Chains A and B, each alone.
Chain A
């Protein structure tokens, strides 16, 4: 039976991809008629509407009304391109349409839907009603008030989360850049086995993140993890360390945020290293030769040649890294997300995820998400503004 099921799945899957290809080819053909082979017309006529109808059918419409909707939508598209978009702009718009329809349905619409949710009251007690009838009670700004007055989880407050997020983002990005810079400077020397070193150093980035984080989580376990085993062995060799306060620690329960930070620093350094190394290698050696003639020290060269020249590479990477770190749910959720997990390490986005899916406060977390988005938007705009100003100064 299992084999039959697998065969059925493969067949289904191949069919799905074939239908997708047919739809794309058909889409291009029906609009451009660029291909001179007759059978494409058949594919076009078959694949495109079949897939569209299947999609509408999946959306819960009955076949007649799905067909009516499809006809209506096609007519609308036809009229739009025939009369509103005339002439030479038709081609790019048609080329863009599939991607932008996808983005509109799966990026823009969810965003708008989230705003809608945040003004209503969707929670575990109202979700069945919403599922069956589509009705949701309107509550105005109540959810937004709640975001600032009640805890998203069980005890931690919004402001504590905010502070923790800023601390988390800053410390992570700081160590990523410093660590990445140090490694890149080391690797930028003419040394042997450079390629091999580079390969080994990018392994944390290359490993699937879920595996890396879960494995590291195991290594911070108080008895079986190598961190504590290592500390114990160290103490056995150097007993005087114990008087300095070095001792095995309950990492996951006592210092969850620190543990997450260590794991994320370990994960993030290779990316920065690779980006910075790329920048370092593009700096012409003639600058350093000139500085050598002038008798500049190593630190002076670093300060006055390397840093200014690396800045155009570093700034986008730091911006990207900041956004990624701010939005990093994965590390924190995988380390603390199991039942009975702590909330001592949660930052804004991971609390957002837990509020929605562990505590089932849907509307609350929608309002929370809008607040977090506004915050991130504000930070990036000020940041980019400052970046532009700095650019103009130069």
Chain B
């Protein structure tokens, strides 16, 4: 064996080891998801078998059928969707104008405002749930969509403002200046030029608002109490928690919720991550 061959052999061994390690890690990451899938296919009498195969014996879709038929799962998804869409709309529209002010103007209090936004991220989320809960109770909005929308609407606002400001900063000012010369006002330039140009950033902010509200559990737990008003997170918790016999339905519901979320996340992760780093690097 020549020296060259030995080096080549060593290199191949190295790549083999790397692949083995990465595959092992990937299995750990994916296996729980596959398990949910497998449990969701189990027939009712074999729910607690210690079988580890991916497609169980006598696989059926009965858990899915009974989930849709016997529980209010669709209703829960619907509730979540309404609340989430409304909060994302509010969050993005409030953030879009505020970020523009931070990006293009110099005014007294600008630095203080930005610091306020950053430091609001330091407040433990759990801390604000109690006063929000009491406020919503006082406004007689318990167990309503509106109460949930109010509680959620500003939770992602600081982060959205931060992302959008970062994006606006990259749009050259000359575009607006041209519009100003043509006779529109500063806000007209924002409405007609900056907003259409920043569709990618707006969609990231929308997506971020959407996923935050969509996956939220702790506020929903205290504001909503009748099961027809539940969001899907509360519904799944109930299915998994109260009666262990409903494990199959829990698994089926998890699959139905997870697959679209995974698809959207994997599709958008590139932009989402660049948005994250944009925010942190520009600091």
0/1 per residue, A96-115, Cβ < 8 Å to B? 10111011001101110110
Q: Within 8 Å CB of A6, what residues of B?
A: 78
User: How many of B's residues come within 8 Å of A, CB to CB?
Assistant: 104
CB-CB under 8 A from B188, the residues of chain A are 32, 34-35
Report the separation of the CA atoms of residues A285 and B222 in the bound assembly, to the nearest whole angstrom: 53
Assess whether B36 is in contact with A327, with CB atoms less than 8 Å apart.
no
- The complex places the Cα of A317 from the Cα of B254 at a distance, in Å, of 29
Interfacial residues of chain B within 150-185, with CB under 8 A of chain A in the complex = 150-151, 153-154, 157-158, 161, 184-185
Check if B218 sits within 8 Å of A214, measured CB to CB: no
Cβ of B257 within 8 Å of any chain A Cβ, yes or no, is yes
Question: Is A9 part of the binding interface, using a Cβ–Cβ cutoff of 8 Å?
Answer: yes
A203/B139 in contact, CB under 8 A: no
A59 interface hit (Cβ, 8 Å): yes
Does B269 lie within 8 Å of A372, measured CB to CB? no
A373 at the interface (CB under 8 A from B): yes
A233-B190 Cα distance, complex, nearest whole Å? 64
How far, in angstroms, from A236 to B17 measured CA to CA in the complex? 28
How far apart are the CA atoms of A253 and B220 in the complex, in Å?
Answer: 27
Given the complex of chains A and B, what is the CA–CA distance between A334 and B234 in angstroms? 11
List chain A residues, Cβ under 8 A from B122: 323, 376-377, 380
Contact A98 B132 (CB under 8 A): no
Contact of B131 among A95, A110, A216 (CB under 8 A): A110
**Which residues in B have their C-beta under 8 angstroms from that of A326?**
124
A contact residues, total (Cβ < 8 Å):
101
Q: Roughly how many angstroms separate A207 CA and B233 CA in the complex, as a whole number?
A: 13
Q: What is the CA–CA distance of A376 and B166 in the complex, to the nearest angstrom?
A: 27
**Interface membership of A41, Cβ < 8 A:** no
Binds A, one of B2-10, B62-70, B93-101, B196-204: B93-101
B247 lies within 8 A of A92 (CB): no
Main secondary structure of the interface of B (DSSP, over half): helix
The answer to whether A200 has its CB under 8 Å from any CB of chain B is: yes
Verify B254–A215 contact, CB threshold 8 A: yes
CA distance A215 to B28 in the complex (A): 14
B77 interfacial by beta-carbon distance below 8 Å: no
Bound together, the chains give a CA A357 to CA B108 distance in angstroms of 41
- Interfacial chain B residues near A13, Cβ < 8 Å: 82, 85-86
B227 lies within 8 A of chain A by Cβ: no
Residues of A within 8 A of B90 (CB): 20, 102
Q: Are A91 and B187 in contact (CB under 8 A)?
A: yes
Pick the contact of B247: A89, A218, A266, A330 (CB < 8 A).
Answer: A218
CA distance A13 to B149 in the complex (A): 12
Cross-chain contact B187 with A34 (CB below 8 angstroms): yes
B contact residues around A357 at 8 Å (CB) = 129, 133, 221-222
In the assembled complex, the CB of B259 is this many whole angstroms from the nearest CB of chain A, namely 10
- CA distance in complex: A224, B18 (Å): 33
With the chains together, A197 CA to B24 CA distance in Å? 11
Once bound together, how far apart are the Cα atoms of A244 and B273, in whole Å? 44
In the bound complex, what is the Cα–Cα distance between A316 and B283 (angstroms)?
10
Given A191-B15, A330-B217, A362-B130, 4 additional A-B pairs, CB 8 A? A203-B29, A207-B258, A210-B217, A349-B126
Pull 26 A–B residue pairs with CB atoms less than 8 Å apart, ordered by A. Answer: A34-B188, A89-B108, A95-B190, A98-B94, A99-B97, A99-B157, A99-B161, A102-B90, A110-B132, A186-B25, A201-B26, A202-B29, A208-B258, A210-B217, A210-B237, A211-B258, A214-B237, A214-B254, A215-B33, A226-B52, A323-B121, A323-B122, A330-B218, A350-B126, A357-B222, A380-B122
4 interchain residue pairs of minimum CB distance: A110-B131, A99-B98, A92-B105, A34-B188
